[in-house]
Amino acid sequence: MDIIDVECPVCEIITEHEILRNENNLVVKCMECGRVQTLQKPKEPALTSVKAIVSKENQSFVCRSEMYCTERVAVGDHIVAECDDENAFGVEIMSIECGPKRVTAAQADEIDTLWTRSIDEVVVRFSVHKGHKTIPLYLVCEGNTRFYVGEQYEINGIKCKIHHIKLRNGSICKRIGKYEPALTIKRVYAYVGASKTDKNKYNRRVGVW
């Protein structure tokens, strides 16, 4: 049984809903009152590519960072900077350039350049769907950390279940139980909520229940 958190029109609050059908639309049932409703699948928000200067030891690299247009980032955040299809860095934002100004935080579509430094770990991007909202999250981990389709994780206090994984070579990993190492991942797509029967099933986690 798969669960998501959405607003129930009867309870008038966000409650756990069982997913009855997951096709073009979601058919879900409130686990508090039993009300069944049909929901549109959340649409992926627009993406933008932000210029990122990456300092690594004594070298600098001109890279790009893919973000949602409305996503806000701040100095000190850890994100992903890609230099080409094969090479990407986990980086820490040191400064944000918006036109003639340097700011401490900004929305992605307002940023001209991010000044960053490379960190040793890999940063994995998550797009977590909650109802009609998509939450961008970043997880810092070792490059060989495995992420499993269908498995549940907790990131920054948000519990989610991986639906599919997009790889740097353009392929999509969808098969339940299949894993991909962090170094090969471009973005992980997940839903808030989880299968209750799975909560004690898996031990391979980053951020355990």
Tokens representing 197 are 């029967």
pLDDT at residue 208, rounded to an integer: 31
pLDDT at residue 205, rounded to an integer: 40
Share of the chain above pLDDT 90, in %: 48
Q: Please answer whether residues 158 and 192 qualify as being in contact, where contact means their C-beta atoms are separated by less than 8 angstroms.
A: yes
Indicate whether 203 pLDDT > 60.
no
| CATH number for the domain running over 123-209 | 3.10.20
Indicate whether 17 pLDDT > 90.
no
pLDDT at residue 86, rounded to an integer: 64
CA gap 31, 36 in Å, rounded = 10
Tokens representing 201 are 């099933």
pTM recorded for the entire structure = 0.67
pLDDT at residue 85, rounded to an integer: 59
CB-side neighbour CA atoms (13 Å) of 73: 33
CA gap 176, 188 in Å, rounded = 14
80-135 pLDDT, tens digit per residue, is 998 875 678 899 999 999 999 999 999 999 999 999 999 988 899 999 988 778 89
Q: Please answer whether residues 96 and 64 qualify as being in contact, where contact means their C-beta atoms are separated by less than 8 angstroms.
A: no
Q: Please answer whether residues 204 and 141 qualify as being in contact, where contact means their C-beta atoms are separated by less than 8 angstroms.
A: no
25-74 pLDDT, tens digit per residue, is 889 999 889 999 998 876 767 889 999 999 988 889 999 999 999 999 99
User: Domain spans of the chain?
Assistant: 1-41, 47-120, 123-209
The pLDDT confidence band at residue 199, using thresholds 50, 70 and 90, is very low
Average confidence (pLDDT) over 137-154: 92
Indicate whether 168 pLDDT > 80.
yes
